[in-house]
Structure 1
Amino acid sequence: MSLHCRYVFIFLIALLTNPVLAAGKWSGNVALEYRYFTENALDNRQHGDNWSFSAQPEYFRRWDGERQSFTFVPFLRIDENDPERSHFDIRELTWVKANKNHEWRIGIRKVYWGVTESQHLVDIINQTDLVENIDTEDKLGQPMVNLSLVRDWGTLDFFVLPGFRERTFPGAKGRLRSQPRVDTDQAVYESSSGQRHVDVAMRWSHNIGDWDIGLSYFRGTSRDPRFVPGVDSSGAPVLVPYYDQMRQTSLDLQWTTGNWLWKLEAIARQSNGASYNASVAGFEYTFTGIFKSKKDLGVLLEYHHDSRGTRA
């Protein structure tokens, strides 16, 4: 365990046992993970199996007639072999102030947009924590100020996002990873502000009968880096992440009818001096009470389109 992770672990134990925070509600999870790889590694620095430990406590408290709340969700991963996977993150550290027709949400949060399952085109606010899993479902906490206006014609959200989070990648000893590896220490930004660039976003969402509709706009640093070839300090080839500035307009739709969910996500993006559009559309059908039991079975089919073709 690295010295940094030891300090974080001690901090979490002290936090969990603090009597001052007893007024709120604690929950969370701890996990011990074992990975075994049936194929030999391409790099002799990698291992055939791996142990790791994770902890994610959650603290939640409401007051002021439930008009105000505070949420704190830290996350800790300690990995046996990969120092890049051993990391600490604040998934959420948020104060919420709710009024009759608007809400303020300030702090570090995770925000999810979209409706499809196989790819989340519209989901743009949070950065991917790729060392956790290659499915890109795990996200890093994003600092933000979010004003939400609740009206009869829908909910309008405004976001100011100070501070950019770089995507995490496995280190030289990590699996699964690319070959050559991604060297995050050499990350390059199109913006001269780098990680200090302030992004902005807005979203309108509404429910109309059986329809769920969302329209979103984002301007800022791309969460998806492109890669340029480079070398590390020892002269070995690496991939260097390059974070472009981008603008994205998006639409997400979901129509619910009986056991059917019909879904669509579509984006138009301008980045790296070019524009393209992409979409995911499909359906989800749920068979309820299969074999006269209490179990359900879901069937999913989605189609992907990208105007860049094989360059996507």
Structure 2
Amino acid sequence: MKSLRSIRRLKNAAAQLLSVSVLAYSAHCPAAEWAGWINGEGRYYAQTGEQVEEQVYPSVAAQLEFSHTFNAQDQLTAVLFARGERVDDEGNFADVREFLWLHSTDAYQFRAGIGQVSWGVNELFKITDLINQKDRAELPYQRKLGQPMMSFSFYAGEDLVELYALEGLRSAWYPGKDGRLRYPIMVDTDKEEYEWGATGRLDLAGRWKTTRWNTEFALSHFYGVTRDPYFIFNYDFNHPRMIPVYEKVNQSSLEMQKVIGDVLMRAEFTYQTGSLEPFKSVAGGFEYTFGSLFDSDLDLTWYVEGIWDSRKHIYGTLLDHDVGIAARLALNDERDSNLVLGVIADTKYNEAFGTVFWSNSFGQSWSLNVTGQYFYANDHRYTPDRFMPFFEKLVQENPASPESIDKLLGMIGGVTINKKHYARIVQFINDLRQQGYWDGIKTETVPQTLFDLLRISDNSQKMNLIERGSNIQIDIYYHF
């Protein structure tokens, strides 16, 4: 029986084959336009990981872009992407970023196929942008997976109205056993759980964009499966895995953007309900540019934003009580050189993430990107010498003693797990009270698994899990 991952890859391969077939047919059309790039990438980690010794990760990628105009009203666009990585097998994949038929008239615009949609006005914290799944394999670049969809848009006066019907969910990507920046317990994408809700695999969304009082507004609503899952543990200690759970949600959003003098103000607001706790989130800030810095060709742009999230339980996000500051220096030279420096700091848990990004072009068709990432973690709340002796004692008890049960309950009392995960922990503790729970289980690895699970389940320790992931990445592109 094929795994879910294999089925998804077969479906994706079928879509790619169809796309390539149409592109091959369209190649003979004189109105067709082609573009794309080939990329060589190398990433170096300053330290070995907790689970992985590898520090050098080379890869190659390519993107092919196609556009063909049939007549004044109909156009076909396609973007195909593929990457091959030497170390992490999960880094080898291909994706149809876009394969979209566009039909336009003076009254409306209709699109059908696989597309890309961008919502939101913020630069650092984009909390309203949820039509497409993020391509997490391509971080730190803000790339997205293609989403099967149909959309219908029209103007009501000067206001833009957009309606979307989305088919299925492109599930999130996670590193394999040889990958970096991952949980100490592997994520099992073959056992994902879905809460499809009343509409099944059909998601619906709508957006209204208008300008009032010299301010741009966008009001939107999304009913569908969330793109950011939460996690539960499978409690299979012979094959421990974290299981992503995608819930059906309603999310209402508001975007605002206004120019005040030379300052561009931005804000995004969301309210989401689902099977777990309802929550609110707010993100916003400002952008300001110092043009012709010191009477030179340099432009310096500052971005300052903050984010607040009302959720009390741990989810699949690193950003909930954070402030971000970034500066972009544009040299405005013939090589289109840019330098970006940025830092995001967690105001609640004293954690931070810093990045530096340099880009420029050279020759007729080449460009260079250099990216550095640094992770700063707070003091480790969980240390092996403090917790491992207890877990080693626990697996020797059959059944677990009342004292051990009380201590285990005390440990989970202060963590920030979701309600569904908490219910499974309670069931696990009840099972420990029964004779023979550890029979048939390789108990020599259980203490480490329990220790890792405890760390994962505490939102105050999220940066500690990846603090050894500071890296530098070099990308060279050939554009055609």
Q: Quick check: 1:121 aligned with 2:127?
A: yes
1:119 Cα shift? 1.3
Corresponding residue to 1:64 among 71, 75, 78: 71
Q: 1:231 to 1:38 in 2, by over 3 A?
A: farther
Number of aligned residue pairs = 304
Asked if residue 223 in structure 1 is aligned to residue 230 in structure 2, the reply is no
- Could you list the per-position Cα deviations for residues 229-278 of structure 1 after superposition, in whole angstroms to 9, with x for gaps in the alignment? 1267x823221100011000000010023431100000000022321110
Distance 2:208 2:257 in 1: 14
Aligned to 1:101: 107
**SS, match of residue 84 in structure 1:** helix
TM-score (norm 1): 0.89
Superposed CA offset, 1:288-312 (max 9, x none): 1112222211111112112225755
* Whole-angstrom CA distance in 1 between matches of 2:162 and 2:149: 12
Per-residue CA deviation, residues 116-144 of structure 1 (Å, 9 max, x unaligned), is: 122111001001111111x4722100011
User: SS at 1:184's partner residue?
Assistant: coil
Distance of 1:14 and 1:307 partners within structure 2: 47
Find the counterpart in structure 2 of residue 297 from structure 1.
Answer: 300
Could you say if the C-alpha distance between residues 274 and 29 of structure 1 is closer, same or farther in structure 2, counting changes exceeding 3 Å? same
Cross-structure match for 1:244: 247
Find 2:289's aligned residue among 286, 291, 296: 286
Asked if 2 retains the 8 angstrom alpha-carbon contact of 1:248 and 1:270, the reply is yes
Deviations 1:16-72 (A, max 9, x none): 79742553111111100001111112114x52111111111100122322x221100
1:207 maps to what in 2? 211
- Residues 19, 305 of structure 1: alpha-carbon distance in 2 compared, 3 angstrom cutoff: closer
- CA–CA distance in 1 between the matches of 2:240 and 2:296? 56
- AA aligned opposite 1:217: H
SS in structure 2 of the partner of residue 25 of structure 1? strand
> Aligned-pair RMSD on alpha carbons?
2.8
Relative to its length, the structure with more helix (as a share) is: 2
Equivalents in 2 of 1:155, 1:223: separation in Å? 25
Higher relative contact order (CA closer than 8 Å, sequence separation 6+): 2
CA distance in 1 between partners of 2:26 and 2:274 (Å)? 47
Q: Do the aligned partners of 2:219 and 2:255 also contact (CA within 8 Å) in 1? A: yes
Kindly, what percent of the aligned residue pairs are identical?
A: 31
Letter in 2 for 1:220: G
Q: Which runs of 5+ in 1 are unaligned?
A: none
Does the residue aligned with 2:184 lie in a helix, a strand or coil?
coil
Distance 1:247 1:78 in 2: 36
Q: Distance in 2 between matches of 1:214 and 1:192?
A: 26
Question: Which residue number in structure 1 is paired with residue 168 of structure 2?
Answer: 163
| Corresponding residue number in structure 2 for 1:140 | 145
Cα 1:23–1:270 change in 2 (3 A) is same
After superposition, the Cα gap between the structure-2 partners of 1:143 and 1:19, relative to the gap in structure 1 and judged at 3 Å, is closer
Matched position secondary structure for 2:91: coil
Deviation at 1:198, TM superposition (A): 0.5
Task: Write the letter of the residue equivalent to 1:30.
Answer: I
Provide the C-alpha distance between the structure 2 equivalents of 1:21 and 1:174, rounded to a whole number of angstroms: 43
The AA in structure 2 aligned to 1:29 is W
**1:185 and 2:193 matched:** no
Determine which structure has the larger strand proportion and give its number. 1
Structure 2 gap segments, 5+ residues each = 1-9, 315-319, 321-480
Report the Cα offset of residue 192 of structure 1: 7.2
Please give the alpha-carbon distance, in whole angstroms, between the structure 2 residues aligned to 1:284 and 1:36: 32
* Greater mean alpha carbon deviation, residues 136-145 or residues 161-170: 136-145
Q: Output the CA distance in 2 between the equivalents of 1:244 and 1:287.
A: 44
Q: TM-score, normalised by structure 2?
A: 0.59
Greater C-alpha Rg? 2
For the 8 Å contact 1:94–1:109, the answer to whether it is kept is yes
| Preserved contact between residue 26 and residue 60 of structure 1 (Cα < 8 Å) | yes
Q: 1:231 to 1:32 in 2, by over 3 A?
A: farther
Determine which of 144, 150, 157 is the counterpart of 2:155.
150
